Amino acid sequence: MKITRPTLIIDEVKARKNIAFMAEKAKKSNLLFRPHFKTHQSATVARWFREMGVNHIAVSSLAMAHYFYQHGWDDIHIAFPYNLLEHQKLNELATHIKLTVSIESQQALTHLKSHMKTPIHYMIKTDVGYGRTGIDASNWESILSLADQRNSICQFSGLMAHAGHTYDAHGTDEIEKAHKTSLQKLELLVNRFIDPPFVSYGDTPSCSVSENFNLISEFRCGNFVYYDLTQVAIGSCTVDQIAVAMACPIVAEHYDRNEVVIYGGAVHFSKDFVMSPHKHFGQIVTFNQNGWAVLEGVYLNKISQEHGIIHLPKNVDKNQFSLGHIIGILPVHSCLTSDLMMGQETLSGQPIDKMMRI
């Protein structure tokens, strides 16, 4: 490894396996697969999806839609509430590709209809229990009314839902339970339509674990491409499925207090943590010829802007943690870590193209 500073390492084999798993699951359930690209934000990783037959994608901002348009993607859903203030750029992008926006109020739809000059698609964001945003699924009158206002410019493409409350789950039973209540809410809503609407759905826990996607037309999950320790804690995946590890140099030894300091902090990892088995910011791995191996019981315990503090169990081989060595850290939240890191490469050192911040 020629790494000298914090660098996000992607295990291409694992990432491709994660993509194949979800693509096959979608196919088996007769669903369209529209992966969310907010996790990787990478034209390189996008190609791996393309090679698995993916042509439709979701993103979380207009800027991200523009980046992927520039890399040849021509069917993009901006899965974030329509931002009235960006209508000019939206019009511009819609002249080039099939663009879908998310609508969740009469005011937003009225604005869209009066400002769009180029055909655009809209999906109605419905809240199936997460409580973040979207029209409550029980408010079918509002939803039906918005669906009925399609015209030649603004075309209704269906409903979208994100069962984000699966993120509170501990284990597959609780994921299934949250997913089931979401489907029940969706069912009551869908039954109000004369023609069953297209339904886009996609939190990583539900899509990873459940086999029941009745009513659903499309998978829109994203995190699964890399997974992370949060998904392990929820029960969506195993540690072995995590496809990213941050490589960080050891910059100070404090063996007297069973700690070492890494070059790697909040500006690389963000500040999400998990509580399993206790509060920490990442699990430590060592890199080897095959990728990496988990070091049981070794965690990133504290982070400040650029410093990370690793706690070492007393029996650990300290040679792996000596000054100037590179250690790996499985991230707590791969979406935020990947968002932060411009320096990304595969295990074999191939650079990963990453969207620039604008």
- Contact residues: a copy of itself, CB under 8 A: 3-5, 38, 60-63, 80-86, 89, 104-105, 107-108, 111, 132-134, 164, 249, 251-254, 261, 263, 266-267, 270-272, 302, 304-307, 309, 323-324, 326, 335-336, 339-343, 356-358
User: Looking at beta carbons only, is 51 or 168 nearer to a copy of itself?
Assistant: 168
How near is the Cβ of 212 to a copy of itself at its closest, in Å? 25
Cβ atoms of residues 175 and 206 within 8 Å: yes
Beta strand 7-10 with 32-33 is unpaired
User: Looking at beta carbons only, is 80 or 299 nearer to a copy of itself?
Assistant: 80
How near is the Cβ of 333 to a copy of itself at its closest, in Å? 8
3-class DSSP assignment, residue 229: helix
How near is the Cβ of 336 to a copy of itself at its closest, in Å? 6
Residue in the block written with tokens 């196919």: 27
How near is the Cβ of 144 to a copy of itself at its closest, in Å? 19
3-class DSSP assignment, residue 92: helix
How near is the Cβ of 357 to a copy of itself at its closest, in Å? 4
Cβ atoms of residues 224 and 22 within 8 Å: yes
User: Looking at beta carbons only, is 104 or 217 nearer to a copy of itself?
Assistant: 104
One-letter amino acid at 35 equals: P
User: Looking at beta carbons only, is 213 or 273 nearer to a copy of itself?
Assistant: 273
Dist CA 175 CA 179 (whole Å): 6
Cβ atoms of residues 220 and 294 within 8 Å: no
How near is the Cβ of 206 to a copy of itself at its closest, in Å? 16
Dist CA 43 CA 40 (whole Å): 9
User: Looking at beta carbons only, is 254 or 279 nearer to a copy of itself?
Assistant: 254
Beta strand 135-136 with 154-161 is unpaired
Please say whether the dihedral angle defined by the alpha carbons of residues 323, 328, 333 and 338, taken in this order, is positive or negative: positive
Beta strand 218-219 with 199-201 is parallel
How near is the Cβ of 161 to a copy of itself at its closest, in Å? 15
Structure tokens given for 141: 């009158």
Dist CA 230 CA 232 (whole Å): 5
User: Looking at beta carbons only, is 293 or 342 nearer to a copy of itself?
Assistant: 342
User: Looking at beta carbons only, is 1 or 20 nearer to a copy of itself?
Assistant: 1
